[in-house]
Structure 1
Amino acid sequence: MHYFSPPLDSRVVIVADLINHATFSWKSDTVKRLFNSRDSDLILQIPLRISQGSDSLMWNASLSGNFTVKSAYKVAYALKHNSPLLAPQASSSHAQAFKPLWKIFWSIPTKRKIQFFLWQCAHDRIPVLSNLEVRGIVKDAICKRSGLEPESTFHLLCRCPSSLMVWRISSLRLCFDSICIFWATQWNLLIDSWQPLPNGKSNLSLASFIYWQIWKARNDWHFNSTHWNPKAILDRIMLNFHELSNISTLDTRLHTHLSPSSPPSHWVPPAEGKLKLNIDAAFSFPSKSAGGGFVLRDHKGKTIKVASVFSPFISNPEVAEFHVLREGLSLLIHWGYSEVIIEGD
Structure 2
Amino acid sequence: MLTEDWITTSWNADPVETLDCKAIIASTLWMLWKQCNVRVFGGAEMNADMLVRRAVQFGKDYAKQGRPSCTPARPQVARWTHPAEGWIKVNVDGAFSMVDRLGGAGAVIRAADDTLVAAAWEPSAGESSLRTEGHTLRLGLRLAAGYAKVEVESDSLELVRIMQN
- Normalising by the smaller structure, the TM-score range is 0.3 to 0.5
Higher-strand-fraction structure: 2
Task: Give the alignment's TM-score, normalised by structure 1.
Answer: 0.22
Q: Taking CA–CA contacts closer than 8 Å with sequence separation of 6 or more, which of the two structures ends up with the larger relative contact order?
A: 2
